Structure 1
Amino acid sequence: MNGAAILAPCRSHVHRARTVDAFAAILDPDVNLAIWDRPSMLPVGSLDGFGTIQMTTTVGRAHAALTDALAQQPPAAWHADIAADIATLAESFAAIMDLSHVVIRLERVVGDACKRWHADYVSVRLICTYRGSGTQWIERLVESADAPAVETPRSLAQGAVGLFKGRILAGEQAIVHRSPPIAGTGEERLLLVIDGPPPADTAALWERAMQRG
Protein backbone atom coordinates (compact mmCIF):
# COMPACT_ATOMS: atom_id res chain seq x y z
CA MET A 1 0.00 0.00 0.00
CA ASN A 2 1.24 3.47 -0.83
CA GLY A 3 2.07 5.15 2.48
CA ALA A 4 1.33 8.56 0.98
CA ALA A 5 -2.31 7.53 0.59
CA ILE A 6 -2.69 6.94 4.34
CA LEU A 7 -4.01 10.19 5.79
CA ALA A 8 -4.53 10.98 9.45
CA PRO A 9 -7.99 12.35 10.14
CA CYS A 10 -8.15 16.13 10.00
CA ARG A 11 -8.35 17.85 13.35
CA SER A 12 -11.35 20.02 13.98
CA HIS A 13 -10.82 23.75 13.95
CA VAL A 14 -13.37 23.98 16.79
CA HIS A 15 -12.77 22.87 20.38
CA ARG A 16 -15.74 22.39 22.72
CA ALA A 17 -15.83 21.53 26.42
CA ARG A 18 -18.20 21.87 29.37
CA THR A 19 -15.72 23.73 31.56
CA VAL A 20 -13.87 27.02 31.28
CA ASP A 21 -10.74 24.99 30.49
CA ALA A 22 -12.04 25.05 26.90
CA PHE A 23 -10.60 28.55 26.54
CA ALA A 24 -6.97 27.37 26.58
CA ALA A 25 -7.49 25.56 23.26
CA ILE A 26 -7.63 28.88 21.41
CA LEU A 27 -3.82 29.03 21.73
CA ASP A 28 -3.57 25.95 19.48
CA PRO A 29 -2.67 27.16 15.95
CA ASP A 30 -5.17 24.67 14.48
CA VAL A 31 -8.10 25.90 16.57
CA ASN A 32 -9.96 29.07 15.57
CA LEU A 33 -12.99 28.72 17.86
CA ALA A 34 -13.00 27.53 21.48
CA ILE A 35 -16.43 27.04 23.03
CA TRP A 36 -17.34 26.69 26.68
CA ASP A 37 -20.68 24.88 26.48
CA ARG A 38 -22.12 26.06 29.74
CA PRO A 39 -25.86 26.30 30.44
CA SER A 40 -27.65 29.62 30.45
CA MET A 41 -27.42 30.38 34.16
CA LEU A 42 -28.53 34.00 34.26
CA PRO A 43 -32.19 34.74 33.51
CA VAL A 44 -32.42 38.22 32.01
CA GLY A 45 -35.64 40.17 32.33
CA SER A 46 -36.87 43.17 30.38
CA LEU A 47 -34.35 45.04 28.24
CA ASP A 48 -36.57 48.09 27.79
CA GLY A 49 -34.43 51.22 27.91
CA PHE A 50 -31.17 49.30 28.13
CA GLY A 51 -28.35 51.31 26.55
CA THR A 52 -25.06 49.96 25.24
CA ILE A 53 -22.24 49.75 27.78
CA GLN A 54 -18.73 50.15 26.36
CA MET A 55 -15.60 50.46 28.44
CA THR A 56 -11.89 49.76 28.67
CA THR A 57 -10.86 48.70 32.16
CA THR A 58 -8.16 46.89 34.03
CA VAL A 59 -9.10 43.32 34.79
CA GLY A 60 -9.07 44.02 38.51
CA ARG A 61 -11.56 46.89 38.18
CA ALA A 62 -13.93 45.19 35.76
CA HIS A 63 -16.53 44.21 38.35
CA ALA A 64 -16.67 47.67 39.95
CA ALA A 65 -16.76 49.40 36.56
CA LEU A 66 -19.58 47.18 35.35
CA THR A 67 -21.54 47.68 38.56
CA ASP A 68 -21.26 51.46 38.14
CA ALA A 69 -22.28 51.28 34.46
CA LEU A 70 -25.28 49.05 35.14
CA ALA A 71 -26.40 51.45 37.89
CA GLN A 72 -27.02 54.01 35.11
CA GLN A 73 -29.45 51.60 33.38
CA PRO A 74 -33.12 51.04 34.29
CA PRO A 75 -32.99 49.03 37.56
CA ALA A 76 -33.15 45.26 37.22
CA ALA A 77 -32.57 42.38 39.61
CA TRP A 78 -30.27 40.56 37.16
CA HIS A 79 -27.67 43.32 36.96
CA ALA A 80 -25.60 42.07 39.91
CA ASP A 81 -25.33 38.55 38.49
CA ILE A 82 -24.41 39.84 35.03
CA ALA A 83 -21.70 42.13 36.43
CA ALA A 84 -20.15 39.26 38.39
CA ASP A 85 -20.29 36.86 35.45
CA ILE A 86 -18.76 39.32 32.97
CA ALA A 87 -15.96 40.16 35.41
CA THR A 88 -15.19 36.45 35.79
CA LEU A 89 -15.18 35.94 32.02
CA ALA A 90 -12.93 38.98 31.58
CA GLU A 91 -10.48 37.54 34.10
CA SER A 92 -10.40 34.16 32.33
CA PHE A 93 -10.02 35.80 28.91
CA ALA A 94 -7.22 38.07 30.14
CA ALA A 95 -5.36 35.15 31.68
CA ILE A 96 -5.41 33.21 28.40
CA MET A 97 -4.43 36.22 26.29
CA ASP A 98 -1.97 37.70 28.82
CA LEU A 99 -3.82 41.03 29.13
CA SER A 100 -3.92 43.61 31.90
CA HIS A 101 -6.81 45.56 30.30
CA VAL A 102 -9.93 44.44 28.49
CA VAL A 103 -12.49 46.14 26.26
CA ILE A 104 -16.05 45.23 27.24
CA ARG A 105 -19.24 45.83 25.25
CA LEU A 106 -22.68 44.81 26.53
CA GLU A 107 -25.56 45.72 24.25
CA ARG A 108 -29.20 45.13 23.53
CA VAL A 109 -29.65 43.98 19.93
CA VAL A 110 -33.06 44.19 18.25
CA GLY A 111 -32.19 44.23 14.54
CA ASP A 112 -29.84 42.62 12.04
CA ALA A 113 -26.53 43.86 13.38
CA CYS A 114 -23.55 42.25 11.58
CA LYS A 115 -25.82 39.82 9.72
CA ARG A 116 -23.27 39.21 6.95
CA TRP A 117 -20.80 36.36 7.32
CA HIS A 118 -17.41 37.82 8.24
CA ALA A 119 -14.21 37.37 10.23
CA ASP A 120 -13.17 40.07 12.69
CA TYR A 121 -9.89 41.98 12.45
CA VAL A 122 -8.90 41.12 16.03
CA SER A 123 -6.61 38.61 17.69
CA VAL A 124 -9.27 36.80 19.73
CA ARG A 125 -12.77 37.97 20.65
CA LEU A 126 -14.97 36.59 23.43
CA ILE A 127 -18.69 36.44 22.59
CA CYS A 128 -21.61 35.38 24.78
CA THR A 129 -25.35 35.90 24.37
CA TYR A 130 -27.19 36.20 27.68
CA ARG A 131 -30.60 36.47 26.11
CA GLY A 132 -31.87 35.49 22.65
CA SER A 133 -30.28 33.61 19.77
CA GLY A 134 -26.55 32.99 19.91
CA THR A 135 -23.91 34.02 17.38
CA GLN A 136 -23.79 31.85 14.26
CA TRP A 137 -20.52 30.43 12.92
CA ILE A 138 -19.31 28.24 10.06
CA GLU A 139 -17.91 24.78 10.77
CA ARG A 140 -15.54 23.49 8.08
CA LEU A 141 -15.09 19.71 7.80
CA VAL A 142 -12.66 18.02 5.43
CA GLU A 143 -13.20 14.26 5.08
CA SER A 144 -10.27 13.63 2.76
CA ALA A 145 -7.46 15.50 1.04
CA ASP A 146 -9.15 15.35 -2.35
CA ALA A 147 -12.63 16.35 -1.18
CA PRO A 148 -13.88 19.92 -0.85
CA ALA A 149 -14.54 21.24 2.62
CA VAL A 150 -18.10 20.96 3.84
CA GLU A 151 -19.24 24.21 5.44
CA THR A 152 -22.13 24.01 7.90
CA PRO A 153 -23.70 26.92 9.80
CA ARG A 154 -23.79 26.39 13.58
CA SER A 155 -24.96 28.52 16.50
CA LEU A 156 -23.71 29.18 20.00
CA ALA A 157 -26.31 28.25 22.59
CA GLN A 158 -27.64 30.97 24.85
CA GLY A 159 -25.18 31.31 27.72
CA ALA A 160 -22.36 29.47 25.95
CA VAL A 161 -19.10 31.39 25.58
CA GLY A 162 -16.96 31.38 22.45
CA LEU A 163 -13.42 32.61 21.86
CA PHE A 164 -13.35 33.57 18.17
CA LYS A 165 -9.90 33.81 16.60
CA GLY A 166 -9.68 36.76 14.20
CA ARG A 167 -7.57 37.75 11.24
CA ILE A 168 -4.65 39.16 13.25
CA LEU A 169 -3.77 35.68 14.54
CA ALA A 170 -5.39 33.37 11.99
CA GLY A 171 -5.33 35.27 8.70
CA GLU A 172 -7.58 33.63 6.12
CA GLN A 173 -8.35 30.83 8.59
CA ALA A 174 -10.08 33.21 11.01
CA ILE A 175 -13.46 31.96 12.15
CA VAL A 176 -16.35 33.14 9.97
CA HIS A 177 -19.47 34.14 11.88
CA ARG A 178 -22.41 36.52 12.03
CA SER A 179 -25.18 37.84 14.26
CA PRO A 180 -28.40 35.87 13.74
CA PRO A 181 -30.91 37.81 11.60
CA ILE A 182 -33.78 38.76 13.91
CA ALA A 183 -35.26 41.91 12.32
CA GLY A 184 -39.05 41.81 12.31
CA THR A 185 -39.28 38.87 14.72
CA GLY A 186 -39.65 40.89 17.91
CA GLU A 187 -36.68 39.06 19.40
CA GLU A 188 -34.24 40.91 21.67
CA ARG A 189 -30.69 39.81 22.37
CA LEU A 190 -28.32 40.79 25.17
CA LEU A 191 -24.85 40.39 23.70
CA LEU A 192 -21.48 40.49 25.43
CA VAL A 193 -18.22 41.08 23.54
CA ILE A 194 -14.80 41.22 25.20
CA ASP A 195 -11.63 42.18 23.30
CA GLY A 196 -8.07 43.05 24.12
CA PRO A 197 -7.01 46.69 23.71
CA PRO A 198 -6.44 47.71 20.07
CA PRO A 199 -2.99 47.89 18.50
CA ALA A 200 -1.13 51.09 19.33
CA ASP A 201 -1.23 52.40 15.76
CA THR A 202 -5.06 52.34 15.73
CA ALA A 203 -5.65 53.32 19.35
CA ALA A 204 -6.48 56.97 18.63
CA LEU A 205 -9.05 56.11 15.96
CA TRP A 206 -10.56 53.46 18.20
CA GLU A 207 -10.83 55.85 21.15
CA ARG A 208 -12.66 58.41 19.03
CA ALA A 209 -15.04 55.74 17.81
CA MET A 210 -15.76 54.66 21.40
CA GLN A 211 -16.46 58.27 22.39
CA ARG A 212 -19.04 58.54 19.60
CA GLY A 213 -20.79 55.47 21.05
Structure 2
Amino acid sequence: MPTCPDDMATAASLFETPATRTAVISEDFADLARIYEPDVYLCLVRRPPVPAIERFVGELLNEGKQIELSQALPFEHFDFSSLLPEYRGLEGHDAWWRDIARLTAAFCDLFETGSVGLRLRTLNQAMCPRFHVDFVPCRLVCTYGGRGTEWLADGEVDRTKLGLAGSKGLSDEESGLILGGVRAMPAHAVALMKGATWGGLDYPGAVHRSPKPTPEQPRRLLLTLDLLL
Protein backbone atom coordinates (compact mmCIF):
# COMPACT_ATOMS: atom_id res chain seq x y z
CA MET A 1 0.00 0.00 0.00
CA PRO A 2 1.22 3.53 -0.67
CA THR A 3 3.12 5.33 2.06
CA CYS A 4 3.51 9.05 2.48
CA PRO A 5 5.49 10.57 -0.41
CA ASP A 6 8.12 13.20 -0.17
CA ASP A 7 8.36 14.79 -3.56
CA MET A 8 5.27 13.00 -4.94
CA ALA A 9 2.29 15.26 -5.52
CA THR A 10 4.22 18.39 -4.57
CA ALA A 11 2.63 20.51 -7.29
CA ALA A 12 -1.16 20.65 -7.55
CA SER A 13 -3.08 21.06 -10.78
CA LEU A 14 -6.32 23.04 -10.55
CA PHE A 15 -7.83 21.21 -13.53
CA GLU A 16 -11.53 20.61 -12.82
CA THR A 17 -11.02 21.69 -9.22
CA PRO A 18 -13.10 24.48 -7.65
CA ALA A 19 -11.15 27.62 -6.82
CA THR A 20 -12.59 27.60 -3.30
CA ARG A 21 -12.67 24.30 -1.44
CA THR A 22 -13.79 23.39 2.03
CA ALA A 23 -13.32 20.85 4.78
CA VAL A 24 -16.50 19.40 6.28
CA ILE A 25 -16.34 19.24 10.09
CA SER A 26 -19.27 17.37 11.60
CA GLU A 27 -20.54 15.05 14.29
CA ASP A 28 -22.84 13.23 11.85
CA PHE A 29 -21.26 10.06 10.45
CA ALA A 30 -23.39 10.36 7.30
CA ASP A 31 -21.47 13.51 6.36
CA LEU A 32 -18.54 11.35 5.26
CA ALA A 33 -20.50 10.92 2.01
CA ARG A 34 -19.89 14.61 1.28
CA ILE A 35 -16.39 13.65 0.18
CA TYR A 36 -17.96 13.25 -3.27
CA GLU A 37 -18.84 16.95 -3.43
CA PRO A 38 -16.43 18.70 -5.85
CA ASP A 39 -15.62 21.53 -3.43
CA VAL A 40 -14.89 19.21 -0.47
CA TYR A 41 -11.36 17.84 0.00
CA LEU A 42 -11.64 16.54 3.58
CA CYS A 43 -14.46 15.23 5.77
CA LEU A 44 -13.86 15.03 9.51
CA VAL A 45 -16.44 13.48 11.84
CA ARG A 46 -15.83 13.91 15.55
CA ARG A 47 -16.80 10.96 17.74
CA PRO A 48 -16.86 10.74 21.53
CA PRO A 49 -14.52 8.02 22.77
CA VAL A 50 -16.10 4.73 23.76
CA PRO A 51 -14.87 4.11 27.34
CA ALA A 52 -14.11 0.41 26.74
CA ILE A 53 -12.12 1.20 23.58
CA GLU A 54 -10.32 4.07 25.31
CA ARG A 55 -9.24 1.79 28.17
CA PHE A 56 -8.16 -0.96 25.77
CA VAL A 57 -6.08 1.37 23.63
CA GLY A 58 -4.61 3.04 26.71
CA GLU A 59 -3.39 -0.30 28.04
CA LEU A 60 -2.05 -1.28 24.63
CA LEU A 61 -0.06 1.95 24.29
CA ASN A 62 1.22 1.85 27.86
CA GLU A 63 2.52 -1.68 27.29
CA GLY A 64 4.94 -0.30 24.71
CA LYS A 65 4.72 -3.17 22.24
CA GLN A 66 5.30 -2.21 18.61
CA ILE A 67 2.37 -3.04 16.32
CA GLU A 68 2.65 -2.85 12.56
CA LEU A 69 0.00 -4.50 10.41
CA SER A 70 -0.50 -3.78 6.73
CA GLN A 71 -2.64 -5.91 4.45
CA ALA A 72 -5.17 -5.93 1.64
CA LEU A 73 -8.34 -7.62 2.83
CA PRO A 74 -11.64 -8.71 1.30
CA PHE A 75 -14.27 -7.17 3.54
CA GLU A 76 -16.90 -9.92 3.24
CA HIS A 77 -14.47 -12.70 4.17
CA PHE A 78 -12.25 -11.05 6.76
CA ASP A 79 -12.48 -11.97 10.44
CA PHE A 80 -11.93 -8.66 12.23
CA SER A 81 -11.76 -10.43 15.57
CA SER A 82 -8.41 -11.78 14.38
CA LEU A 83 -6.87 -8.32 14.68
CA LEU A 84 -4.29 -8.34 17.48
CA PRO A 85 -5.18 -11.84 18.66
CA GLU A 86 -2.67 -11.59 21.51
CA TYR A 87 -5.02 -9.07 23.14
CA ARG A 88 -8.15 -11.19 22.75
CA GLY A 89 -9.86 -11.44 26.10
CA LEU A 90 -8.62 -8.05 27.24
CA GLU A 91 -11.51 -5.75 28.14
CA GLY A 92 -12.38 -3.53 25.19
CA HIS A 93 -10.82 -5.70 22.47
CA ASP A 94 -14.22 -6.76 21.14
CA ALA A 95 -15.55 -3.18 21.07
CA TRP A 96 -12.35 -2.02 19.34
CA TRP A 97 -12.30 -4.55 16.51
CA ARG A 98 -16.04 -4.17 15.98
CA ASP A 99 -15.49 -0.44 15.54
CA ILE A 100 -12.83 -1.11 12.89
CA ALA A 101 -15.24 -3.49 11.15
CA ARG A 102 -17.91 -0.77 11.10
CA LEU A 103 -15.49 1.80 9.68
CA THR A 104 -14.33 -0.66 7.01
CA ALA A 105 -17.92 -1.52 6.10
CA ALA A 106 -18.77 2.16 5.75
CA PHE A 107 -15.65 2.80 3.66
CA CYS A 108 -16.36 -0.12 1.32
CA ASP A 109 -20.03 0.88 0.98
CA LEU A 110 -19.17 4.52 0.29
CA PHE A 111 -16.72 3.65 -2.48
CA GLU A 112 -18.55 0.57 -3.74
CA THR A 113 -15.60 -1.75 -3.28
CA GLY A 114 -15.23 -5.19 -1.75
CA SER A 115 -11.61 -4.89 -0.71
CA VAL A 116 -9.53 -2.34 1.12
CA GLY A 117 -5.96 -1.70 2.20
CA LEU A 118 -5.83 -1.71 6.01
CA ARG A 119 -2.90 -0.44 8.02
CA LEU A 120 -2.71 -0.50 11.80
CA ARG A 121 0.35 0.62 13.70
CA THR A 122 1.64 2.12 16.91
CA LEU A 123 3.94 5.10 16.52
CA ASN A 124 6.33 6.75 18.95
CA GLN A 125 7.63 9.19 16.36
CA ALA A 126 6.16 11.08 13.42
CA MET A 127 5.79 8.62 10.52
CA CYS A 128 5.44 11.43 7.94
CA PRO A 129 6.78 14.51 9.76
CA ARG A 130 6.52 16.91 6.79
CA PHE A 131 3.26 18.18 5.34
CA HIS A 132 2.36 16.25 2.19
CA VAL A 133 -0.46 14.90 0.04
CA ASP A 134 -1.01 11.12 -0.07
CA PHE A 135 -0.54 9.49 -3.47
CA VAL A 136 -3.87 7.66 -3.24
CA PRO A 137 -7.44 8.47 -4.38
CA CYS A 138 -8.78 8.68 -0.82
CA ARG A 139 -7.69 7.61 2.65
CA LEU A 140 -9.61 7.09 5.89
CA VAL A 141 -7.72 8.02 9.05
CA CYS A 142 -8.61 7.32 12.67
CA THR A 143 -6.26 7.80 15.63
CA TYR A 144 -7.51 5.58 18.43
CA GLY A 145 -5.07 6.88 21.00
CA GLY A 146 -2.46 9.61 21.24
CA ARG A 147 -2.18 12.76 19.13
CA GLY A 148 -4.23 13.00 15.95
CA THR A 149 -3.11 13.77 12.40
CA GLU A 150 -2.35 17.44 11.69
CA TRP A 151 -3.72 19.19 8.60
CA LEU A 152 -3.92 22.55 6.85
CA ALA A 153 -6.98 24.32 5.51
CA ASP A 154 -6.99 24.58 1.74
CA GLY A 155 -6.61 28.35 1.68
CA GLU A 156 -3.86 28.36 4.32
CA VAL A 157 -1.11 26.45 2.52
CA ASP A 158 1.39 27.40 -0.18
CA ARG A 159 1.51 24.17 -2.17
CA THR A 160 4.62 25.28 -4.08
CA LYS A 161 6.54 24.75 -0.81
CA LEU A 162 5.54 21.07 -0.43
CA GLY A 163 8.32 18.48 -0.59
CA LEU A 164 12.06 18.88 -0.18
CA ALA A 165 12.45 20.65 -3.51
CA GLY A 166 9.70 23.17 -2.81
CA SER A 167 10.85 23.86 0.73
CA LYS A 168 14.52 24.13 -0.30
CA GLY A 169 15.37 21.99 2.69
CA LEU A 170 13.67 24.26 5.23
CA SER A 171 11.21 22.98 7.80
CA ASP A 172 7.46 23.39 7.24
CA GLU A 173 7.46 26.21 9.78
CA GLU A 174 10.37 28.03 8.10
CA SER A 175 9.61 27.51 4.40
CA GLY A 176 6.48 29.65 4.17
CA LEU A 177 4.27 26.64 3.44
CA ILE A 178 1.98 27.30 6.42
CA LEU A 179 -0.14 30.39 5.82
CA GLY A 180 -2.52 29.93 8.74
CA GLY A 181 -2.91 27.70 11.75
CA VAL A 182 -2.07 24.00 12.00
CA ARG A 183 -5.19 21.96 12.81
CA ALA A 184 -5.34 18.57 14.52
CA MET A 185 -7.83 15.72 14.26
CA PRO A 186 -9.14 14.67 17.67
CA ALA A 187 -8.56 11.12 18.86
CA HIS A 188 -11.35 8.72 17.76
CA ALA A 189 -12.47 11.12 15.01
CA VAL A 190 -12.85 9.66 11.51
CA ALA A 191 -11.50 11.57 8.54
CA LEU A 192 -11.65 11.02 4.80
CA MET A 193 -8.93 12.85 2.88
CA LYS A 194 -8.82 13.14 -0.89
CA GLY A 195 -5.39 12.30 -2.24
CA ALA A 196 -3.34 13.18 -5.30
CA THR A 197 -5.04 10.61 -7.53
CA TRP A 198 -8.66 11.48 -6.73
CA GLY A 199 -10.43 11.42 -10.11
CA GLY A 200 -7.08 11.14 -11.90
CA LEU A 201 -3.58 12.45 -11.37
CA ASP A 202 -2.57 15.86 -10.02
CA TYR A 203 -5.53 16.47 -7.73
CA PRO A 204 -4.66 18.95 -4.95
CA GLY A 205 -5.47 16.62 -2.07
CA ALA A 206 -5.61 17.27 1.65
CA VAL A 207 -2.29 18.51 3.07
CA HIS A 208 -1.42 16.79 6.34
CA ARG A 209 1.39 15.34 8.45
CA SER A 210 2.02 13.09 11.43
CA PRO A 211 2.16 14.88 14.80
CA LYS A 212 5.26 14.96 16.96
CA PRO A 213 4.91 12.95 20.17
CA THR A 214 4.87 14.78 23.49
CA PRO A 215 5.83 13.62 26.99
CA GLU A 216 2.11 13.52 27.82
CA GLN A 217 1.24 11.58 24.64
CA PRO A 218 4.39 9.72 23.57
CA ARG A 219 2.64 7.09 21.43
CA ARG A 220 -0.37 6.78 19.15
CA LEU A 221 -2.42 3.97 17.59
CA LEU A 222 -3.27 4.80 13.99
CA LEU A 223 -5.72 3.10 11.61
CA THR A 224 -5.78 3.94 7.92
CA LEU A 225 -7.93 2.50 5.14
CA ASP A 226 -7.02 2.94 1.48
CA LEU A 227 -8.79 2.38 -1.79
CA LEU A 228 -6.83 -0.26 -3.67
CA LEU A 229 -5.59 0.78 -7.10
TM over 0.5: yes
3-state secondary structure, aligned to 2:58:
coil
CA contact (8 A) 1:136 1:177 kept: yes
The reply to whether residue 71 of structure 1 matches residue 85 of structure 2 is yes
Q: Distance in 2 between matches of 1:105 and 1:187?
A: 20
The reply to whether residue 32 of structure 1 matches residue 41 of structure 2 is yes
3-state secondary structure, aligned to 1:151:
coil
Q: Which has the higher contact order (CA 8 A, sep 6+)?
A: 2
Q: CA RMSD in A?
A: 2.3
Q: Which runs of 5+ in 2 are unaligned?
A: 1-18, 157-177
Q: Identify the residue that residue 76 of structure 2 maps to in structure 1.
A: 60
Instruction: Report percent identity of matched pairs.
Output: 28
Deviation at 1:46, TM superposition (A): 2.1
Note the 1:146-157 alignment, pairs <5 A. Answer: 150-157=179-186
Q: Which runs of 5+ in 1 are unaligned?
A: 1-9, 143-148, 200-213
Q: Look at both structures and tell me which one has the larger radius of gyration over its CA atoms.
A: 1
Report the residue type matching 2:136 in the other structure. V
Aligned in 2, Cα 1:16/1:70: closer, same or farther, shift over 3 Å?
same
Q: Identify the residue that residue 182 of structure 1 maps to in structure 2.
A: 213
Aligned in 2, Cα 1:114/1:150: closer, same or farther, shift over 3 Å?
closer
CA contact (8 A) 2:142 2:223 kept: yes
CA contact (8 A) 1:110 1:183 kept: no
Q: 1:132 aligns with which of 141, 146, 155?
A: 146
- How many residue pairs match? The answer is 181
1:165-188 CA deviation, whole Å, 9 max, x = no partner?
Answer: 000017342100001011776611
The reply to whether residue 105 of structure 1 matches residue 105 of structure 2 is no
Q: Identify the residue that residue 203 of structure 1 maps to in structure 2.
A: none
Once the two structures are overlaid, the 10-residue window that deviates more, 116-125 or 183-192, is: 183-192
- Runs of 4+ in structure 1 off by over 4 angstroms are 183-186
